[in-house]
Amino acid sequence: MIISMRPHATRDEIDHVCERIRDFGYRIHTIEGDERVVIGVVGVGDVTACLESLEATPGVERAVRISAPYKFVSKEFKKERTQMEIQGVELGGGEFVVMAGPCSVESERQIMETAEAVAAAGAKILRGGAYKPRTSPYDFQGMEEEGLKLLAKARAATGLGIITEVMSEKDVELVAEYADIMQVGARNMQNFSLLKALGKCGRPVMLKRGMSSTIKELLMSAEYVTAHGNPQVMLCERGIRTFETATRNTCDIAAVPVLNEMTHLPVILDPSHATGKRSLVPALARAGVAIGADGLIVEVHPCPEKAVSDGAQSLTLKGFAEMMRDLQPYIELWKESRVAEPVLV
């Protein structure tokens, strides 16, 4: 932190500020100019509380935080990429991982058919919501545990890992019994009790960016999970809410390289929720590969027009296979660029 005193602050005011800073457990380096005193504050402590207190202390003009408020998820804490193994797939490393499946698990037939098809097309993880966050309480809310059981059955049949959403702290234990990756939906990105519980769930977590959340807030939410004991976190850009109405959300594609600069955590792009339109998904998926995401999460349904949720943005089984085929050359280039990355020490 840097504390800038008002011009001509009195000696008593300066001494009092220094005393407050020491009360918080920090060390002090002062720079005394002709007109004003600037105080450098170093050490470890509750930065927010200290800043708030100093801003209210007489003689202080401005109190500014210098270091990032997140620690474990930052590149400064760890330079090399965080990798995690999920059902034999290395995510965050040299493999571009595609997760695919329906928005909601609807029936045994629907999930089995989708799982077989996406596995044959090259997906490594099966997605499917068993607990659905719906805007309307009258819409389909998900098959809950029955849906989780169907996902486990699909895993047994295909070898695909499973990603599924957990909406509430009370369901963490149950969902963790079935899921290989615990998905936190956009609407729950700042559900801090849920994030804390996921710190203890023993499974990788995929945190989707809230629709009105900044990148910094996304990283702070990831920090919650890591600070509570779980370093296996991946982040997902799924579009944010803007004034634009041509797409369901506005894909902040630059969030991918921004996150790659700021954090060692893997970054996944969701071209389905980012656009809301099937026709736009392949183009955005290509962009995700080209811009350096670690993987994609894509909605796929055997019959999108009959989907209980998100049919308009779901690819057909055939459409998904075509997209995967068309992505191949881009994924090859992606792999070359990963291999060429300098080894960080």
Q: Is 238 in the site for ligand PEP (CB under 6 A)?
A: yes
Give dist(CA 189, CA 180) in Å, integer.
Answer: 19
Complex with Mn ion: residue 103 or 148, whichever CB lies closer: 103
Closer to ligand PEP by Cβ: residue 1 or 103:
103
Only one of the segments 44-52, 74-82, 167-175, 184-192 lies at the binding site for ligand PEP (rule: CB under 6 A); that segment is 184-192
**Side-chain-facing half-sphere of 24: CA atoms under 13 Å:** 23
- 186 binding ligand PEP? (CB under 6 A): yes
Residue 103 interacting with ligand PEP (CB under 6 A): yes
Q: Does 133 bind ligand PEP (CB under 6 A)?
A: yes
Q: Please answer whether residues 24 and 6 qualify as being in contact, where contact means their C-beta atoms are separated by less than 8 angstroms.
A: no
Closest to ligand PEP by CB, 9 vs 269, is 269
Does the footprint of ligand PEP cover residue 234 (CB under 6 A)? no
Q: Interior CA angle at 301 toward 298 and 305, to 5°?
A: 120
Is residue 208 close enough to count as binding ligand PEP by CB under 6 A?
yes
Cβ distance to Mn ion smaller for residue 103 or 235: 103
Question: Which of 202, 181, 184 shows the shortest CA–CA distance to 193?
Answer: 184
Question: In the complex, which residues of this chain contact Mn ion (CB under 5 A)?
Answer: 103, 310
Residue 47 contact partner, candidates ligand PEP, Mn ion, none, CB within 5 to 8 A by sort of partner: none
DSSP 174: H
Residue position matching structure tokens 């998820």: 73
With residues binned 3-state (H G I as helix, E B as strand, rest as coil), the percentages for the chain, rounded to 5, are 40, 20, 40
Least distance to Mn ion, CB of residue 237, Å:
15
133 contact, one of ligand PEP, Mn ion, none, CB 5-8 Å limit per kind: ligand PEP
Question: In the structure encoding, which two tokens stand for residue 93, read together?
Answer: 């490393």
Q: Does 278 bind ligand PEP (CB under 6 A)?
A: no
- Residue 147 engages ligand PEP in binding (rule: CB under 6 A): no
DSSP for 65-85, please give it.
Answer: --S-S--TTBTTT--SPP-EE
Dist CA 63 CA 40 (whole Å): 10
Provide the minimum distance between the beta carbon of 71 and ligand PEP in the complex, in angstroms, as a whole number. Answer: 26
Number of CB atoms found within 10 A of residue 77's CB: 13
Q: What angle do CA 306, 287, 253 make, to 5 degrees?
A: 95
User: Is 185 a residue that touches ligand PEP (CB under 6 A)?
Assistant: yes
Which residues would be at the binding site for ligand PEP (CB under 6 A)? Answer: 103, 129, 133, 185-187, 208, 238, 273
